[in-house]
Amino acid sequence: MDRSDQKRRGASTHPENPEPSFSSTPVSANSPAAASPDAGSPANNLRKELRVWTRDLLIAIGLALVIIVFLYQPVKVEGTSMAPLLSDQERIFINKFVYRFEPIQRGDVVVFWYPLDHTKSFIKRVVGLPGETVEIRQGVLYVNGKAIPEPYVPPQYEDNSDFAPKTVPENSFFVLGDHRISSNDSRVFGPVPSQFIYGRAVFAYWPVDHFGSLETTEANPK
């Protein structure tokens, strides 16, 4: 909240000596007599330091707000398809501009418009890149015929079913939920076009016991 200080207007004052007196001895601007008696006092120095610290703090807060507003977006996770990494109703920040400067990589947890209904957003993990062939054999993910380790999928969340080989189209990505047995993902709606992907999950802030960075877990072929 902005606050403004109101100054009370007082009555006009008059100098005690209408006719000022002048010293017959000129005083140099650099002489001690020309300086304020409190100019170098510890109190003045402290006030200057406080002003500098306050200014720097306000600048830092302003920059942080600009970064949060323009670079990051808070979102709420709905559902359990990304458990145990993300839980239902968890709050996270996504980076909205990261893919303007670097490519989408395998292992990234991305937020995108649901291909079958663009009014909805989904959050999944990228497992297949453009041009790659994705296949699942008895729950094991294969990319271009090579098995992909998935340490982010706990044994109790594995899906032991098969998925026939699927080549990912150009400028599209194959995404899966970590909670593999309870996820509506590219096995159902197909690869996601890159223009639908608008952010990468980077940080969890609520609940407090989940507070921290959402590091990318890159999965590479064995």
Active site residues: 81, 124
Q: Is the separation of the CB atoms in 103 and 215 below 8 Å?
A: no
Q: Could you give the CA distance from residue 178 to residue 81 in angstroms, rounded to a whole number?
A: 6
- Residues β-bridged to residue 92: 75, 204
Please report the beta strands in the chain, taking only residues with DSSP state E, as ranges in sequence order: 72-76, 91-95, 109-113, 121-128, 133-137, 140-143, 146-147, 163-167, 172-176, 192-193, 197-206, 212-213
In whole angstroms, what is the distance from residue 93 CA to residue 106 CA? 20
What's the Cα-to-Cα distance from 24 to each of 21, 27, 36, rounded to whole Å?
9, 9, 21
CA distance 175 to 33: 78
Phi, psi dihedrals of residue 42, rounded to the nearest 5°: -60, -35
